[in-house]
C-alpha cells in the first residue's frame, strides 16, 4: 500500500470537511443556517474539486454557490421587510 503524501492528506481533509458540512446542513432547523452551511460546503467542495481535478464536482458547486448566496440575500430582504430577525 502506497503512502499518502502531504498533498493527498490535505486533499482528503478538505473533502471530509466538505462532506461534514453537507451533513451539518441536514441538522439545521433554521433555513438561514442551512443556507450558510450549504454555502460553506460549496466553498469547501470547490477547493476539494480543484485540488483533486474533479471537474463535475467543481461545476456543480460553482452553480450551487451563487444560488445559496441569492437565497441568503432573499432571507435578509424578506426579514427586513417584515421586521423579523433573520435567525428566527
Residue-wise pLDDT for 23-72, tens only, equals: 999 999 999 999 999 999 999 999 999 999 999 999 999 999 999 999 99
Task: Yes or no: say if 25 and 38 are a contact pair by the CB < 8 Å rule.
Answer: yes
On the 0-12 / 13-18 / 19+ scale of CB atoms within 10 A, 50 is middle
58 lies in some domain: yes
| Angstrom distance (rounded) from CA 43 to CA 15 | 11
3 lies in some domain: no
pLDDT tens, position by position, 43-55: 999 999 999 999 9
52 lies in some domain: yes
41 lies in some domain: yes
50 lies in some domain: yes
Question: How many domains does one find in the chain?
Answer: 1
Q: Give CA 82 to chain center in angstroms.
A: 28
- Could you tell me the residue range of the domain that residue 71 belongs to? 29-88
5 lies in some domain: no
Task: Yes or no: say if 35 and 72 are a contact pair by the CB < 8 Å rule.
Answer: yes
Amino acid at each position: 500500500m502506497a503512502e499518502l503524501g502531504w498533498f493527498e492528506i490535505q486533499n482528503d481533509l478538505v473533502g471530509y470537511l466538505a462532506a461534514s458540512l453537507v451533513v451539518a446542513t441536514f441538522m439545521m432547523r433554521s433555513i438561514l443556517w442551512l443556507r450558510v452551511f450549504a454555502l460553506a460546503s460549496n466553498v469547501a467542495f470547490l477547493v476539494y474539486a480543484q485540488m483533486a481535478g474533479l471537474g463535475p464536482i467543481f461545476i456543480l458547486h460553482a452553480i450551487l454557490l451563487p444560488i445559496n448566496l441569492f437565497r441568503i440575500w432573499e432571507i435578509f430582504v424578506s426579514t427586513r421587510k417584515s421586521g423579523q430577525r433573520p435567525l428566527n
